[in-house]
Structures are given as structure tokens and as C-alpha cells.
Amino acid sequence: MEQQKRYGHFDDQHREYVITDPQTPWPWINYLGNEDFFSLISNTAGGYSFYKDAKFRRITRYRYNNVPMDNGGRYFYIKDGDTVWNPGWKPCKTPLDFYECRHGMSYTRITGKKNGIEASVLFFVPLKKWAEVQKLTLKNESSETKSLKLFSFEEWCLWNAATDMENFQRNFSTGEVEIEGSTIYHKTEYRERRNHYAFYHVNAEIQGFDTDRETFVGLYNEFADPQAVMEGKPRNSHAHGWSPIASHYIEVTLKPGESRDFVFLLGYIENEQEKKFSAPQVINKEKAHALIAELDTTEKVDKAFAELCEYWDALLNIYKVKTGNDKLDRMVNIWNQYQCMVTFNFSRSASFFESGVGRGMGFRDSNQDLVGFVHQIPPRARQRIIDIASTQFPDGGCYHQYQPLTKRGNNDIGGGFNDDPCWLIFGTVAYIKETGDFSILDEMVPFDNQPGSEVTLFEHLKISMNHVINNLGPHMLPLIGRADWNDCLNLNCFSWDPNESFQTTENVSEGTKAESLMIAGLFVVTGKDYVALCRKIGKDAEAERMQQAVDAMIEAVKKHGWDGEWYLRAYDFYGRKIGSNECDEAKIFIESQGWCTMAEIGAEDGLVAKSLDSCKKYLECEHGMVLNNPAFSKYIYEYGEISSYPEGYKENAGIFCHNNPWVIIGECLAGRGNDAWSHYAKILPSYVEEKYQTLHKVEPYVNCQMVAGKDAFKPGEGKNSWLTGTAAWMWYTVSEFILGIKPDYDGIRIDPCLPETATDYTVNRKFREAEYEITIHPNGAQKGVKQIVLDGKPVDGTVIPYSVGKHTVEVTM
């Protein structure tokens, strides 16, 4: 095989991905921050920061899809004689003697060396702080004394990232800053309705600064060669309007072997209305001073960093597997869980593919993200469930998205996606099973955030189920509404206007016969969960009512949703089949195979096995399973956005990684461990890392939303990394169905489904107030637990009952 070029490798011991060549095939990024203050950072220090909401509270500016790509970030320029360079290679792109970027758990460390100087920057957001720390260490490794000129650089965003990109007739006149010692304050719009400001500080005396972009860069220069830096002369500019920036200038002399730390701090502050100013027009900086004082020495910063590392130690100790297979262990123990935290925090709002201005928190997305996160920090999951449910409408429908800053439903994105309500059950059940906290069901939760409209969360679950039952079509299958999980299957939309969004344009509900088999399966899965929950809390009549609805749905699927070899996908507006052998194109779709096999509909009649076999036969390819097959080759007015994509991309026969796990879980429930594993390994980043260094392009340490499918021009090319439901679904699949450790109301259910080749493995699982060390002996079996021994005593069935304390469990298959 041809030797692939490599850009990096895993370092499991430090839980890092180490990038050794700055010219990755695409910016490979990381996320900083765990709550409130967040940053995106690429392997060349590009990216930006924001407070809570990437749209409404953007702190630093970023230009998406620019030339060059990934332009703008936190840059350090080092001028050593005539050579100007950056530790992260960009933007100067001066060839470095050494380059390394280590992306770790909520931190990134970038190191560059040039002409005997090493510059290493540690970037992180300390726990509970609204600030990004950039600890720069300069070291003289040469044998002569070096006099360097150091320039820092950040560019302010005028807060609202959307208007920042377009309303220049206003923007160029509003920018305001203040400079005080080594701190540059950004206070645009503070004079009027904003009570927040940002600052950029360094814990050293500065010999100059700049705050006006054009003065610093020069109108005809670039980030790669800012005039002030090239000439080694700051201008001490004070921005009035135009584009405010923050740049410190520091002269540093280092003897041979000497090293020096500089702590740069990018902070965000909110003031009370009455305490905004310390003098007319002058911001009250008390809180900034206090924040700076907490992080103004190497010792304080190192301590904050140690706390962050301990925080991650604790989080990643909750579920730990030891299989002896490094590729599996590193994904389960590190990167998959890490990605789950990131998707929990950002939903689909801010990545290098999501601009931060288009989308907020998805109703469906965020509920799904919970299954990947709930074991990590249950109280935050609890709050999220309440926030999501608070955007629901009294009839069970909901806004498709809400803004994280305001927690209000986003009207621009609309609603009417008929799968949305079911996901609330999915998320809530996962939370209760993890925590045993049934009290969440009694929380009073409003509709559409309207005070006075509160009902219990349980009532929200009930109306969610009812929303499906109240919206059935002619085959007694769920009406799809604007779309189901597949945002792009727009069966009631009918658009010929290229300026219309498929997602928000007309949604003809009058007379529609468009029904979804995906929602049918989802309803059966979440309906069974709902029934079990009702029984658990003594609501037997309600359980009975819903059981009947679930049974009826199963019958409807068997009768009207089976195509002979697989489950149909949908019926269109006119009641014609979609995803059927009778269709010219897109004869089979993955979503309904996934959900109906997870729901085990018709398993007794062989439907599940046939459906799974069809997935292998028609959907599987080298890089995973495609969404539909064959791809649509033309736009179909009745189907909407799905057919707008060229063949093999996105929802038109791309490998939408998010839905592969559904089929894998179907395989697991059917006991087909070999097949489950082979599907899983195909989209497991560590398994395809080498092959994908160049083909895949995007980060090899996380899943991406889509890999180009077999019909694409370039199969195997990845896109839309990081913010995807794939993270939570991969986690749910491997932790609960493959490795088989499944939280349940009364304990942990153990039911692995493995490839025949699996050898003994151990899972350490913290669960509520207990800690289990579970060793599984597969003995070549794909499925079927023969015996469980808990603390030396055999247990009946497959659930180890919950009890406080440390336990050992031996499982024989």
C-alpha cells in the first residue's frame, strides 16, 4: 500500500492528538471552555471566542470560508532580527524549525521553534472563569542573548456576529476601546444598551500597543505581514470606529537558556446597570481587575490548568473500558466522550462548518446529545431538559431551535418537524435511568417560555406522545410535518424558488398524506420507554393507553410500512411510496431501517433480519452506510431539499454518520455482533485514522456529520466535523449496546453484543453512588449473558441491582 502522508498521531497517555505538520488538509480544531465562555481554536491558533451564544455574544471576529482559509485568531508575532514568525506557523507562514500542536481535553498547546527560540502557548479557559488564558513561554535555546519584539493580536467582534458581518454603514462608526496599563478594553455599544465589555490583558509591562486594525496591519497588508510588526514599531493607536483590535507590544531579552512566561488573558465582564461607569464614558473595571488578579501569575495559571485536568480526569473516570484494543479504548475513554461534551455545549451552533449565526440549540439535536452526556454531569443534563421543554407549545409541537443566550425559541428556524416531540422522552428517560431522579418529572415547565403556563414535565412528555397520535395519516402512520429527523425530506414544501429555505417555507398541511416510517419507529421505541416509565411511577392507566397506541403503530408499520425486503421510508403528499423497490431511485433509506429495527417491529416474522441484510446489501460501502440508495439524480419537487444535493453528499446518499449507529443498535438487538462491529469500526475515527489522514480531510479524532458516499465524486471525504449527533449515538451504541453496560431504573443492565473475536474486557462504571468493576468473558459468543456474579454471588437475569458502594461483577456469555 502507498505510504500515506501523516499529519499527526494520538497520544493516549496525555489524552491528546498531536499534530506535527501545520498544513493539515483542513483546519483541525479544538474547543476551549466548559460553561459560558467558549473558544474555537485551530491547529494554527485560528478561531474565535464567545460568551454563551456564538451569534449574540461574539467576542472576537472570525471570517468563515475565507482566503486564506482559517483567517483570524489569537496570533503572537515574534520579531527576531529580520525574521518574523508565529509559534503556530500562521499567519506569517515562516518555515519553522519545529512545530507541534497538541489538542487535549479543553486545552490546546502550540509550540514553534525558530532560530534557537522556542515559543509555546497553552490555551485554555479555566473552570468557572469567563476568560481564555494564553500562557506564552519563550525560551532561548541558542547560545547567544536574544532581543525579541513580541506582538500579540486579537480582533474584536462587535458582539452580534451576524450584524458584524453586514451592517458596515453603522459598524464603522461605533467601535470604542479604552487602554489602561497592559489591558486593552473593548467597549463598543457599552455607552448604550450593552452592560458587557471584553478585555485583553498581559501580565507584563508593555512598551506599546495598537487598537486600530488598519493602523496596525496597514490597509494594503495582511495578517501575514502587519506593518507595525514588520517595522518592529507599534503605533499606539486608539481606535475610534472602524475595526478595533487589541495588540500588545513587548520587548524581551533572553540570555542563553533563559525562559520567560507571559500570561495573556482574554476576558469578558458583565456589569450591573447602576454600576456601568466609574466616570462619564469610562467603564467600571472593578470586575476586570478582579478577574485579572486571579490569573496574573504563572503559578495561578498552572493551578487553574491543573484543576481543569482534574476535572477531565473525574469526568473520564465515570466510564472506562479496558479491552486491550487501543483504537477502541481511546475512542471510548477519551475522544468520543469528549466530543459528546462539546456537542452538549454547542448543539449545532459553532464549529468550522457551523458559522454560529445560523443555528442555536436544536430541540431534537440537544435531546439526542443528552445520551452522550448525561453520565458526565447529570445536573447540567437536567437543566437542559427543562430548557428544551420550556420551548414546547401546548399541543406538543415545538420550535426546532432556541438561542442559548435567551433560551427562547427561534422563530426564524420555525417548527413543525413532527419527530421533535418524541425526542423529549428519549432525553428524559436517559436522564432518569442514569440518575434515578424521578423528581424531574414533577418540575413545573412553561410552554413557549410563557410565565403562568407551567405544567409538570411529565405532562410535557405526555403531550409529546399525544402529538404523534393526534397527527396520524391515512395509513395510521405519523404525519411527517415539515420533516422528520431528516431535515431535508420536505414532503409538504413544494418549492421552485431558490431563495426560499426548504426548512421554513410553506408547509402544506391541508390535505397531506405524507407519513414517516422513521417517526413510526421512533414512536415505538420512545413509546415503549414511556410505557415503562409510566408503570414505574404507578400511572398504569396511562401506560395502558400508550401501550395500545404503540401496538397499533406496530401493526400499521407491518401492514403499510413493509416493502418486502426492507421498511419503506415514507409516503409522500399524495400518498405514494418513498423508499420502495417500486421507486426509480432511492429505493431504500437508512432511517426507517434503523428505527424500525431498533423498535424490533416484525422481528418475529423475520422483518428485522431482512431489513438489516438489505442495509448490508444496498447501503453499506467501504466508508460506512449511505443514507439512501441509489442516490437521487435529479431534483424532485415533491421531496424537497434531499434531492437538491449532488449524488453521494449530505442527505442524498452521503454517509450520514449520525444514522449508522441506529442500524448498528438494530444489529445488536438482533444479536448480530459481527455485523454490528464491522459497521461500527467503519466510522470509528481511530480505526480509519491512517487511511483518512488525507482522504478524509477533517479531524481524525472526532466523528464528522457526513462522509461522502459511494455515489459521490470523492467517496470517503469527510465534512462537517465535531457538531453532530453522531457523537452521542456512537457513545450510546458502544457503551450500552456493544460493550453492553446499560443504565436502568433499578440498576445496570448488562447485555453486550460483540464480534466473535472479542476477548475479555473490563468496564469501570461509576453509577449514582456506586462504582462497578465489570469484567466480561465473551467466550466467543456474539450475544447472550449466561451468568452474572455480583460481589461473588450469582444474580438472576441481566440487571445488577443498584446499591451504594464498590462492587465487582463477573459476566459470562
The least CB distance from residue 697 to ligand BGC, in Å, is 19
CA–CA distances in Å: residue 612 to residues 221, 526, 720: 58, 21, 27
How many Å apart are CA 381 and CA 379, to the nearest integer? Answer: 5
Query: How many CA atoms lie less than 13 Å away from 300 in the CB half-sphere?
Result: 15
| Planar angle of CA 451, 370, 514, nearest 5 degrees | 80
All three cell numbers of 116: 534557537
Q: Residue 480 in 3-state DSSP?
A: coil
Q: Which CB, 365 or 434, lies closer to ligand BGC?
A: 365
Strand partners, 808: 773
DSSP-derived pairing of the beta strands 718-721 and 83-85: unpaired
Catalytic residue, from 487, 572, 675, 711: name it. Answer: 487
Residues 338-357 that bind ligand BGC (CB under 6 A): 348
Comparing C-alpha atoms, which of 89, 132, 90 is closest to residue 114? 89
**CB of 304 closer than 8 Å to CB of 133:** yes
The least CB distance from residue 448 to ligand BGC, in Å, is 20
Decide: residue 379, CB within 10 A, 0-12 exposed, 13-18 middle, 19+ buried: exposed
Q: Which CB, 74 or 348, lies closer to ligand BGC?
A: 348
Residues 781-810 that bind ligand BGC (CB under 6 A): none
All three cell numbers of 800: 445488577
Contact letters for ligand BGC, residues 488-527 (x by CB under 6 A): x---------------------------------------
The least CB distance from residue 719 to ligand BGC, in Å, is 11
Contact letters for ligand BGC, residues 662-701 (x by CB under 6 A): ----------------------------------------
Residue number, nearest CB to ligand BGC? 487
How many Å apart are CA 242 and CA 239, to the nearest integer? Answer: 7
Point out which span in 40-48, 61-69, 238-246, 358-366 binds ligand BGC (CB under 6 A).
358-366
Q: Which CB, 419 or 620, lies closer to ligand BGC?
A: 419
**CB of 513 closer than 8 Å to CB of 575:** yes
Q: Which CB, 44 or 355, lies closer to ligand BGC?
A: 355
The least CB distance from residue 410 to ligand BGC, in Å, is 13
Q: Which CB, 341 or 361, lies closer to ligand BGC?
A: 361
The least CB distance from residue 622 to ligand BGC, in Å, is 22
The least CB distance from residue 348 to ligand BGC, in Å, is 5
Residues whose CB falls within 8 Å of the CB of residue 532, separated by 6 or more in sequence, listed in order: 543, 745
Buried b vs exposed e over 78-89: b needs ≥16 C-beta within 10 Å?
Answer: bbbeeebbbbbb
DSSP-derived pairing of the beta strands 282-283 and 319-322: unpaired
Chain centroid to CA 49: 16
DSSP state of 94: P
Comparing C-alpha atoms, which of 693, 804, 552 is closest to residue 19? 693
The least CB distance from residue 717 to ligand BGC, in Å, is 17
The least CB distance from residue 400 to ligand BGC, in Å, is 8
The least CB distance from residue 486 to ligand BGC, in Å, is 5
Q: Select from 80, 100, 369, 651 the one that contacts ligand BGC (CB under 6 A).
A: 651
Kindly state the greatest CA–CA separation across the chain. Answer: 84
All three cell numbers of 607: 422483518
Residue 671 region by backbone torsions, left for phi larger than 0, else alpha for psi between -120 and 50, else beta: left
Residues whose CB falls within 8 Å of the CB of residue 439, separated by 6 or more in sequence, listed in order: none
The least CB distance from residue 292 to ligand BGC, in Å, is 39
Q: Which CB, 49 or 403, lies closer to ligand BGC?
A: 403
Q: Which CB, 212 or 572, lies closer to ligand BGC?
A: 572
Query: With the CA atoms of 363, 367, 369 and 373 taken in that order, what torsion angle do they form, in degrees rounded to the nearest 10?
Result: 140
All three cell numbers of 139: 525560551
Known catalytic membership, residue 487? yes
Q: Which CB, 372 or 747, lies closer to ligand BGC?
A: 372
Residue 650 region by backbone torsions, left for phi larger than 0, else alpha for psi between -120 and 50, else beta: left
The least CB distance from residue 523 to ligand BGC, in Å, is 16
Residue type, 85: W
All three cell numbers of 282: 469610562
Comparing C-alpha atoms, which of 285, 260, 9 is closest to residue 136? 260
Residues 476-495 that bind ligand BGC (CB under 6 A): 485-488
What H or E segment, with its residue span, contains residue 387? helix 378-389
In 125-195, at which residue ranges do the beta strands (DSSP E only) sit? 131-140, 146-159, 177-180, 183-186
Residues in the chain: 813
All three cell numbers of 263: 500570561
Q: Is 362 in the site for ligand BGC (CB under 6 A)?
A: yes
All three cell numbers of 501: 429555505
> Residue 77 — φ and ψ, nearest 5°?
-105, 130
Residue 358: how many other CB atoms lie within 10 Å: 15
- Map 331-373 to HEC letters: HHHHHHHHHHHHHHHHCCCECCCCECCCCCEEHHHHHHHHHHH
Q: Which CB, 24 or 705, lies closer to ligand BGC?
A: 705
The least CB distance from residue 554 to ligand BGC, in Å, is 24
Q: Which CB, 124 or 485, lies closer to ligand BGC?
A: 485
All three cell numbers of 311: 476535572
Query: With the CA atoms of 429, 434, 435 and 441 taken in that order, what torsion angle do they form, in degrees rounded to the nearest 10?
Result: 0
DSSP state of 507: -
Q: Which CB, 486 or 703, lies closer to ligand BGC?
A: 486
Point out which span in 6-14, 88-96, 135-143, 359-367 binds ligand BGC (CB under 6 A).
359-367
Query: How many CA atoms lie less than 13 Å away from 66 in the CB half-sphere?
Result: 15
The least CB distance from residue 627 to ligand BGC, in Å, is 9
Which residues make up the interface to ligand BGC (CB under 6 A)? 348, 362, 364-365, 485-488, 651
Residues acting as catalytic residues? 487
